[in-house]
Structure 1
Amino acid sequence: MNQPLDHTALEIRQAPHNIEIEQQLLGLILVNNEAFYRVSDFLKTDHFFIEPHRRIYDLITKLIRSGKVATPSTVKTFLPADQPLADLAPVEYLTRLAANATTIINAEDYGRNLFDLAMRRELITIGEDLVNESYDATPDMTPRAQIEGVERRLYGLAEGGAASQGFVTFSDALTASVEMADAAFHRAGALSGIATHLTDLDRLMGGLQRSDLVVLAGRPAMGKTSLVTNIGFAVARAYRAGLENGVNKTLDGGIVGFFSLEMSAEQLATRILAEQSGISSSLIRRGAFEEHQFQDLVGAATAMQTLPFFIDQTGGISIGALAARARRLKRQKGLDLLIVDYLQLLSGSGKPGASRVNEITEITTGLKALAKELEVPIIALSQLSRQVENRDDKRPQLADLRESGSIEQDADVVLFVYREEYYLQARKPPEGSQEFFEWEAKMEACHGVAEVIVAKQRHGPTGTVKLQFEAELTRFGNLAPEHGTAVSYE
């Protein structure tokens, strides 16, 4: 037996909205401009459903932020008299809005309601786009690429549109700059960025700056993974959060995300455990230690268990997948520093016919864009070409960055790790000769010393910083002050 046709099921559903609340909130602001400040931090023009309300809110915003009063009389001046609003003259519509205003106590609740409705509309749009793209997908559009695109849009939505906020005024940019300087002035160590806890390096760089792409490069065995592990752990260990202006923020250190594309999470943890316990990683792997050393090991592991240090050990992932996972980590746990070990193990989007140079360009551009989107520093490790080995002076140069000039171009900071001791060991002359005594003197001078060369710094000086390096513990530390820091300005 045929069922009767349900006409209600055939009705076209309207996008979620509430015109009455929009009218009452606008009227409230027109009557009492103080209500604007209760919603302006989160409520934007495009959160209103109908176009006339978007125009009115935009005019109110411009008037109040220019120090003027927004009333029906002042707003109507900027609305064409021959263009009615809801079949009413602009002045009459504005007057009715003001007449229907409610108490200012309701302002924030009304604003949150409109914000939530706008988010629902955007979710519907994202869902519709996903359905349409899935039906009309071209051969070169993979499901993975679609998933990453949707995750990117959902992250932007979850963050209130911060990733795609468009233009900001120079006044807002200046305010942010002054706030950064004020934070640096009051922060221990007077750093504008996140402290690496390597004193001379922090002094030269001002810490790790938000939205910066930092490329850390070096030849094999120079200790670049050890250095970045030490920095990441130091940042996580110093993590401290608290309320600032009523908002929960990171006050010191940070939450660290570590993409270990080469080593497993266990190997990375073993390195950090060796550094903190003072027992070499080779002894830890073999279990060749004394009872009291094992107690030190357990103590160090217990102290580190609660640190905000998250490791992704997936090898060979694409830049798109990395970005999606980083967004997810920030949304779920928070994120203040992202580390990628290492850049050449990432893959691009896999476009047919793309060269490796183009792929590296896509990766570095993607990492820089991700740093800006998440507003966190990203440290990406990179290999150097073998041409370094053919020179007498084996200190790396920018031209040694492997596979693409885009690494140098996209990076805000380029650091090189260099250990003279490593190369001297391979050139040991016969014992007892004059050359041996000269070699021995050089070895003594550079034993346990590593150089971090700041070859590029977009917003600061370049120079060389000397650090202590303990090979057995894969640990970098501060050298005594007499070793000094060589600084040169561009």
Structure 2
Amino acid sequence: MDTLNVSANEFTYNIYAEQCVIGSVLADPSILPSVIEKVSPNHFYSEQHQAIYRIIQTMFTNNIPVDIVTVLNEAVKLHIFESVSEGKRYLAEIANTLPSTENINTYCKIVSDKFYIRSLNIAAKSIIEEIQSGEEDAQILIDSAEKKIFDIRQGKDIRGLDPLSNAVLEAYDRLGKITGEDREKYIGAKTGFTLLDTITSGLNKSDLIIIAARPGMGKTSFAMNIATNVARRNKDTANEKEVAVFSLEMSKEQLATRILSTEALVDSHSLRSGRISNDDWVKLATSAGYLSTLPMYIDDTAGINVQQMKAKLRRIKNLGLVVIDYLQLMESTSRSDNRVTVISEITRQLKIMAKELDVPVILLSQLSRATESRSDKRPVLSDLRESGSIEQDADIVLFLYREAYYNATSAKQNIAECIVAKNRHGEMGTVELVWDGKYTRFSNVDFNNQQPPTP
């Protein structure tokens, strides 16, 4: 317990290892790409070392030669050293005491390990302080503790504010990645619906995406189509990401049956009634084998709350997408009897969860009956049931609408509209999709006959 009262003991940092990392890159700048992948400025305990390494990182990003002279010049400009002579003496000392650049991986590991130990020390003290304050209930304390540990696992600095320079470097690095040869690894996950992905740029990390529709429009099927498409795409790449589905309405078996119908192209009614032909059994067996290989998980816990979801999701190592069916069946830790307040609290927590886990979260929602009283029954944002802050918290809002549902003589019997009613990242519009209720399946309209999105 005594260690919790110590702000920084020798087991939480190693100044010599930090000097060896900086000295190595100054002696041999060719190792910088490898070092930058392993160590970040916030991994250094010494603020002076943080500042020097940040200079080196920035110079590397801007393709400026890195050596003692150029780094010293920038360090003096930023007043890291009081004088040129002091800076020259310190950097020379680092270079002269460097054992060998061949051990750079070991130096990096020591610096990185000390950062994590330091972060755990800070987190442990914070957890104990929250417990001793006596102001929170157990569930909130557990969630807070789990978040702190999760942040450490993700390599985040839990100490607080981060310099703008770090954010700019991260943004610049991401721009390089999404325009490079491996851009598919870094851009938003693809829904599998071409024009929809064009409008939204895919499912972007930390986004809360609402899919809402009146009953019978196929919102669960649409969400499962997207989840399966993402899992399928991830399975076929080296950067495999896992998909988690929380089904609060349907059981795992019911949901799996629906996914099987879509994948095997076997009539969903036949699966429910048990009237399955020999040919269908063959297709089902093939599809079941394939679906079993997808990185996809289903949880059908009834009345689950956001804190319980986060606890489960944090145990998934390579999480890539979360789907929740649906909002109005979720429980809240709020003690309010006002349903609008409760829903607002849940959507706010889900947006925070998406940001903390750095993954897109698809949330299904019901719509109010207001659409039924209008001549044009296409949903609008005000139709979100118990809307509260749903519209405000969401980054993207998608509505599903099928004219044939209301008009049996419609010329668009198998056409569904996906209406992008809100898009924090760009334009809005409407994309037409083919709906096949027999297989609970949405698909792209034939490219040759496809019209541009309706503004």
TM range, smaller chain? 0.7 to 0.9
Structure 2 counterpart SS, 1:41: helix
1:393 aligns to what?
376
Q: Which of these two proteins has the greater Rg computed from alpha carbons?
A: 1
2:239 aligns to what?
249
1:217-249: CA deviation from partner (whole Å, max 9, x where unpaired): 00111110011111211222233455xxxxx52
Q: Confirm or deny that 1:106 pairs with 2:94.
A: no
- Superposition deviation, residue 100 in structure 1: 0.8
1:36-76: CA deviation from partner (whole Å, max 9, x where unpaired): 54423332334333455445545555666663645386477
2:433 aligns to what?
467
Aligned length: 442
How many Å separate the matches in 2 of 1:199 and 1:54? 44
Q: Confirm or deny that 1:194 pairs with 2:160.
A: no
**Structure-to-structure mapping, 1:53-64, within 5 angstroms:** 53-54=49-50, 56-58=52-54, 61=57
2:347 aligns to what?
364
With over 3 angstroms needed to count, the CA separation of the structure-2 counterparts of 1:165 and 1:397, relative to structure 1, is same
- Superposition deviation, residue 388 in structure 1: 1.1
Q: For residue 366 of structure 1, what is the amino acid of its counterpart?
A: Q
1:343-390: CA deviation from partner (whole Å, max 9, x where unpaired): 22223442x447433333333233333333433322111111111111
Structure 2 counterpart SS, 1:393: coil
2:225 aligns to what?
230
1:173 aligns to what?
171
2:15 aligns to what?
19
How many Å separate the matches in 2 of 1:237 and 1:58? 39
With over 3 angstroms needed to count, the CA separation of the structure-2 counterparts of 1:69 and 1:318, relative to structure 1, is same
**Structure-to-structure mapping, 1:59-458, within 5 angstroms:** 61=57, 67=64, 69-71=66-68, 74=73, 77=76, 78-79=79-80, 81=82, 92-138=89-135, 141-161=136-156, 166=162, 167=164, 168-170=166-168, 172-182=170-180, 193-240=188-235, 249-250=239-240, 254-329=241-316, 331=317, 334-350=318-334, 352-353=335-336, 355-425=338-408, 442-443=409-410, 445-458=411-424
- Superposition deviation, residue 339 in structure 1: 1.0
With over 3 angstroms needed to count, the CA separation of the structure-2 counterparts of 1:320 and 1:390, relative to structure 1, is same
With over 3 angstroms needed to count, the CA separation of the structure-2 counterparts of 1:413 and 1:58, relative to structure 1, is closer
**Any conservation in 1 of the 2:343–2:388 contact (CA below 8 Å)?**
no
How many Å separate the matches in 2 of 1:393 and 1:336? 37
Structure 2 counterpart SS, 1:464: strand
**Any conservation in 2 of the 1:33–1:64 contact (CA below 8 Å)?**
no
**Any conservation in 1 of the 2:431–2:454 contact (CA below 8 Å)?**
no
Q: For residue 364 of structure 1, what is the amino acid of its counterpart?
A: T
Q: TM-score, normalised by structure 1?
A: 0.79
With over 3 angstroms needed to count, the CA separation of the structure-2 counterparts of 1:131 and 1:295, relative to structure 1, is same
Segment drifting more, 227-236 vs 90-99: 90-99
Q: For residue 400 of structure 1, what is the amino acid of its counterpart?
A: D
How many Å separate the matches in 1 of 2:413 and 2:175? 42
How many Å separate the matches in 2 of 1:232 and 1:285? 22
How many Å separate the matches in 1 of 2:445 and 2:59? 57
Unaligned runs of 5+ in 1: 1-7, 243-247, 426-441
With over 3 angstroms needed to count, the CA separation of the structure-2 counterparts of 1:99 and 1:353, relative to structure 1, is same
Structure 1 counterpart SS, 2:239: strand
Unaligned runs of 5+ in 2: none
With over 3 angstroms needed to count, the CA separation of the structure-2 counterparts of 1:406 and 1:182, relative to structure 1, is farther
With over 3 angstroms needed to count, the CA separation of the structure-2 counterparts of 1:349 and 1:100, relative to structure 1, is same
Q: For residue 239 of structure 2, what is the amino acid of its counterpart?
A: K
- Superposition deviation, residue 204 in structure 1: 3.9
- Superposition deviation, residue 123 in structure 1: 1.6
Q: For residue 238 of structure 1, what is the amino acid of its counterpart?
A: R
Q: TM-score, normalised by structure 2?
A: 0.84
Q: For residue 110 of structure 1, what is the amino acid of its counterpart?
A: Y
With over 3 angstroms needed to count, the CA separation of the structure-2 counterparts of 1:31 and 1:181, relative to structure 1, is closer
How many Å separate the matches in 1 of 2:277 and 2:361? 39
With over 3 angstroms needed to count, the CA separation of the structure-2 counterparts of 1:344 and 1:42, relative to structure 1, is farther
How many Å separate the matches in 1 of 2:116 and 2:443? 48
- Superposition deviation, residue 291 in structure 1: 3.2
1:301-350: CA deviation from partner (whole Å, max 9, x where unpaired): 12211111111112222223223322322x2xx12222111122223442
